[in-house]
Structure 1
Amino acid sequence: MVRHAELVELILPDFGCPSFEPKIPAEVYLDRLERLRKKSKSYTHILVYGDREHSANIQYLSGYDPRFEEALLIVDIHEDQQWIMVGNEGNGYLEACPIKEQLTPVLYQPFSLLAQPRDRSRPLKQILQDTGITANSVIGVAGWKYYTPQESPDSHHWIEAPSYLVDNLRALTSDVTNATHLLMHQTDGLRAVNEPEQLAVMEYASALTSQAVRDIIFNVKPGMTEHQAFQYARLNGYPQSVHPMLSTGERAWIGLPSPTDKKIQRGEAFTTAIGLQGALTCRAGWLLENETQLPKKIHDYVEKLAAPYFEAAVAWLETLSIGVTGGELYKAVHDRIGDPFYGVTLNPGHLIGMDEWINSPIYNGSQDRIKPGMALQTDIIPATGTLYFTINIEDGVAVADQHIRNTLMEKYPEAWKRITERRDYMTEQLGIRLQPEVLPFSNLASHLPPFILNPGRAFKMTG
């Protein structure tokens, strides 16, 4: 018998929330710097630029995340030395950096906000020269993107860092190129594969985001404002990776708006997403109790969109394993919802880090293979652009070999208990056949109610 998605009444277990926040040890950051050096032998220096929105690369290597200001990490590839350039307020914030003793701090006040003092900084060119950069240096600059020949025949010279920085570098040496791929390539970048310690941090963040979204969809009611509904998220202050999202009615079709004081009405479209550093959870559907309340023009919403979508998400989860190609994951989705009606135009899944999207090995024809330690999002977006609206099941998962699983079990037993209980719910109650290496990080555990006012009625696989 062919398996298919069916709406049934389910009891979503309480998987619990973390009682403590895992931390990345200093030795992990130092190991990352060493691995960067090993990958960068063709360079003399790697410069990693960051600001508030684009902090993930510099944070990954140093544990320092720029707040109000910009920052620049300069790594001498052939000597065990690294400098961090910060502004006025960042200078004090360096005290929170876990490897501050291994970084040489450099005050560069132009990184500060406008009108703040600029009287204690050396000229940028002099600072760069003091780190050993000369006419013979080979410089790689990492920002937050790299480019390909599809975008420009000169793509390696496209650098998304401030022009004044790149101009000063190119005044010192002609060999300045984009090196972001060292960190963000979809399979070979340092950040594509995570240590057990990083995965534990991601599980912590995902437990928070998913519990927040879960509490919203189990408590939202018509007559509330969007702001009142979002208050059920009860976030604890852990750093966000994206703006908070919740919208209803016409704005829900846009997908990205933050909540407002608009009153929520029965029968409207609904979407919400919450992202913290290392995690994002999203759900979307209709503010109804069941399909009999749907408008006549979309009376077949469940069989036409929602059920095939869940089947595609399940196929993605069941295909996911160590060594599978991104092309196989793409095909698992598009074999089921590849018709233009579904509007699945973005990658059906991607890598996640402290930023919401690192890169994606999942695209049509991809031969990129899934590796142990990857953290991925089931980010499959059916943007129909029709009255059928959408549905969404975005959760976080990790792929872990036996070594990683043993480490998580031994060092993070509380997180491991949540992971195993989520797996049990997904396999035993939802009928999803997960490979042993697939670790669910979400407290929603693929629970997908298309009708938000009846959150206990969700899809499972039968047959």
Structure 2
Amino acid sequence: MKIVTSEIAQPTISQKLFPVDLSQTTMEERKNNLLTKMKEHQLDTIFIYADREHGSNFEYLTGFIPRFEEACLVVHSNGSAFLLLGNENTKMGSYSRIAAEVIHVPYFSLPNQPMEDDAPFTSYLVQAGIHEDSRLGLIGWKNFTTAYQDNRSLFDLPHFIVSGLEKLVASPAQLMNYADLLIGPSDGLRTVNNANEIAHYEYGAALAGQCILTTLNRIKLGKTELDLAETLAASGQPHSVTTICATGDRFTNAVLYPRNKQVQLGDTFSLTTGYKGGLSSRAAYIAQSPKDLPAAVQDYEEKIAQPYYQAFVTWLETIRIGMTGKELFDTIQTILPKENYHWELNPGHFTADEEWMASPFYEGSTSILKSGQLFQIDIIPKVKGYGGVSCEDGIVLADNELRAEIQKEYPEMWERFSKRRDYIINELNIQLSEDILPLNDIVAYYRPFLLNQNLAFSVKK
């Protein structure tokens, strides 16, 4: 495989993107699947915590997050459910996608708000059906049961919640971390999606790709990060990550957000935006050609960008339903050795409501890749003295049955998938298995020199 830089037509942006709501059938499936898992693990109750940053496991069943407050969802093995909500979210109980009794918990409200229903915290837990014999699975947002450790007694819920539960049960051993029921890389319920869920998430992933391409096409010398960042937001949709629009050195004065800083020739440059369903990111240099780069990094294209893109292409051409996470991890390690390119994280991960759910791609992983799984291609090389390189986007794996269902139920999305596959295969010369459906229009489209909108990487075999 040889990576070449040549004149490549830009991908065509999809028109008339609209969000797709999750169906009631999907929401009922989610709850029933959870109840089945609870029975398998002999759990009486699942207790799910949420706040604005860590609400996806809660949202998976309720359909909403508690915004600026905290909340808990209690689901019992008999199917009954309770929503523990603060002052400004009690009204959301009537909108919950699963039937649940609302319990007002003032402790989950904002500081110094009225505490009119104040009572010992344990009393709210008792109202929610927690008792001394309860065997509880606690779910925050982190899965501490991994290939490296099996630690179910480590919790990422606030102390006052765990402490309250400990006061009610007969033994601390009755409280266990069961986040892996939802996000575990081998059989977490949230890692596999049906056609309706894929349609729901494809909207955000596609929106992110459109924002990135629009912004790439607006890059000019003298424009500021603030100017360019305007097109990294769209349709009022909530971001799943902090927006990045950074030219030159990042994080000056610890600033994480776009600054009033002008783009200059030879700058490194990073763009990232993400919504439910996926993130898109690009990193390269502000240049027309290698001649515009600082002398010390004029070999950036062949030393960093091309090896990275070769690993990226290998990822796309290798991934398939039925392979293990270890196989893909080992393949990337062979193509882009960690000891030379210093990537530290997993070469890809699950995505959904949050940008990073969990990952099956790690050394020794026995997790089997399945139809219906959404992945971010996320390889981050770091070579001292050189700017970054990034072409991050998402894909979904779909077998014959799921593809047929998508084609039947969501023909417009199927047409977008087909168009994207055609571009990747015929314009970029990347061979995709039938299992791979690209989640946005710019998957695999990468410009190493951002001022030249005609040049992009492709494969010459």
TM over 0.5: yes
**Aligned pair in 2 of structure 1 residues 407, 15: CA closer, same or farther (>3 Å)?**
farther
Alpha carbons 1:142, 1:179 under 8 Å: kept? yes
Which of 99, 103, 107 in structure 1 is aligned with 2:100?
Answer: 103
Contact residue 109 and residue 117 of structure 1 kept, 8 A: yes
> 2:54 aligned with 1:58, yes or no?
no
Counterpart in 1 of 2:11? 13
Q: Deviations over 1:246-304 (max 9, x none)?
A: 11111179999321111121210000110112210000000001122222212211111
Query: TM-score, normalized by length of structure 2?
Result: 0.95
Map Cα deviations across residues 437-463 of structure 1 (whole Å, 9 max, x no partner).
100012212101011111331111102
Q: Secondary structure at the residue paired with 2:3?
A: strand
Alpha-carbon shift at residue 239 of structure 1 (Å): 1.8
Q: 1:271 to 1:50 in 2, by over 3 A?
A: same
Q: Which amino acid aligns with 1:236?
A: S
SS of residue paired to 1:156: coil
Q: SS of 2:89's equivalent?
A: helix
SS in 1 for 2:316: helix
| Whole-Å separation in 1 of the counterparts to 2:291 and 2:95 | 55
Q: TM-score by structure 1 length?
A: 0.95
1:294–1:96: structure 2 CA closer, same or farther, 3 Å change rule?
Answer: same
Q: Does 1:141 align with 2:138?
A: yes
Query: How many aligned residue pairs are there?
Result: 456
Instruction: Tell me the alpha carbon deviations over residues 310-359 of structure 1, each in whole angstroms, 9 at most, x when there is no partner.
Output: 11100000001101111221122221211523111210001111111111
Aligned pairs for 1:11-160 within 5 A? 11-41=9-39, 42-77=42-77, 79-99=78-98, 102-148=99-145, 155-160=151-156
Q: SS of 1:214's equivalent?
A: helix
Asked if 2 retains the 8 angstrom alpha-carbon contact of 1:449 and 1:459, the reply is yes
**Following the alignment from structure 1 to structure 2, what is the Cα–Cα distance between the partners of residues 286 and 443?**
22
Query: Which residue in the other structure is 2:168 paired with?
Result: 172
- Corresponding position of 1:410: 408
Q: Greater CA deviation, 178-187 or 14-23?
A: 14-23
Residue in 1 that maps onto 2:443: 445
Structure 1 residues 290-299 or 58-67, which shifts more?
A: 290-299
Which segment is superposed worse, 177-186 or 254-263? 254-263
The ranges of structure 1 where at least 4 consecutive aligned residues each deviate by more than 6 angstroms after the TM superposition are 149-153, 252-256
Deviations 1:144-173 (A, max 9, x none): 0132488878x2111111111111111111
Change in Cα spacing, 1:445 to 1:146, as seen in structure 2 (3 Å) is closer
Question: Which residue of structure 1 aligns with residue 193 of structure 2?
Answer: 194
Cα distance in 1 for residues equivalent to 2:231 and 2:365: 40
Contact 1:50 1:72 in 2 (8 A): yes
Select which of 412, 416, 419 maps to 2:417.
419
Q: Structure 1 stretches of 5 or more lacking a match? A: none
8 Å contact 2:24–2:97 — kept in the other structure?
yes
* CA–CA distance in structure 2, aligned partners of residues 63 and 442 of structure 1: 24
Secondary structure of the corresponding residue to residue 8 of structure 1: strand
What do residues 351-395 of structure 1 show as CA deviations (whole Å, max 9, x unaligned)? 1111111111111232221100100000011122x2221210100
CA RMSD in angstroms comes to 1.9
Deviation per CA, 1:172-226: give whole Å up to 9, x if none.
1121111111111012111111121111111111110010011111111111110
Contact 1:255/1:271 (8 A) holds in 2: no
2 CA distance for matches of 1:150 and 1:447? 34
CA contact (8 A) 2:247 2:267 kept: yes
Cα distance in 2, alignment partners of residues 49 and 163 from structure 1: 12
Identity percentage of aligned residues: 34
Question: Residues 247 and 255 of structure 1 are in contact (CA less than 8 Å); yes or no, is this contact kept in structure 2?
Answer: no
Counterpart in the other structure of 1:257: 256
CA distance, structure 2, for counterparts of residue 17 and residue 96 of structure 1: 31
- 1:123-163 alpha-carbon deviations (Å, 9 max, x no partner): 3312222333221110111000132488878x211111111
Residues 319 and 328, structure 1, Cα contact 8 Å, conserved in 2? no
Partner SS for 2:392: coil
Which whole-Å deviations, capped at 9, do the CAs of 1:217-250 have from their partners, x for residues lacking one? 1111111110101112341111211111111111
Going from structure 1 to structure 2, the CA distance change for 1:366 and 1:216 (only over 3 Å counts) comes to: same
Q: Does the 8 Å CA contact 2:86/2:108 hold for their aligned counterparts?
A: yes
Q: Measure how far apart 1:33 and its partner are.
A: 1.1
